[in-house]
């Protein structure tokens, strides 16, 4: 995994949490699986 890819993933995570205000790990995982970055891997 390249550092720029990892950085994009961290940005996605921070933005997801910030937009949701309150979100569970299960909800984050569900949103993650629906992104192109995940490759279908939870």
pLDDT in tens, the chain (42 residues): 667 888 999 999 999 999 998 999 999 999 999 998 888 888
Write 3-10 long-range contacts (CB < 8 A, 24+): 5/37, 8/37, 9/37
User: Dihedral (C-alpha) 37, 14, 20, 40: value to the nearest 10 degrees?
Assistant: 20
Q: Which pLDDT does position 15 carry in this prediction?
A: 97
17 assigned to some structural domain: yes
Is residue 21 in a domain? Answer: yes
Q: How many Å apart are CA 6 and CA 12, to the nearest integer?
A: 10
Please indicate, yes or no, if residue 27 is contained in any of the structural domains. Answer: yes
Q: Which domain holds residue 29?
A: 3-33
Does 39 reside within a domain?
no
Whether the CB-CB separation of 42 and 29 falls below 8 Å is answered with yes
Structure token digits, residue 35: 């992104």
What's the structural domain count of the chain?
1
How much is the CA Rg of the chain, to the nearest whole Å? 10
Is 12 domain-assigned?
Answer: yes
């Amino acid at each position: 995994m390249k550092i720029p890819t990892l950085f994009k993933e961290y940005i996605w995570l921070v933005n997801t949490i910030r937009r949701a205000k309150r979100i569970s790990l299960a909800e984050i995982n569900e949103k993650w699986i629906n992104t192109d970055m995940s490759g279908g891997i939870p």
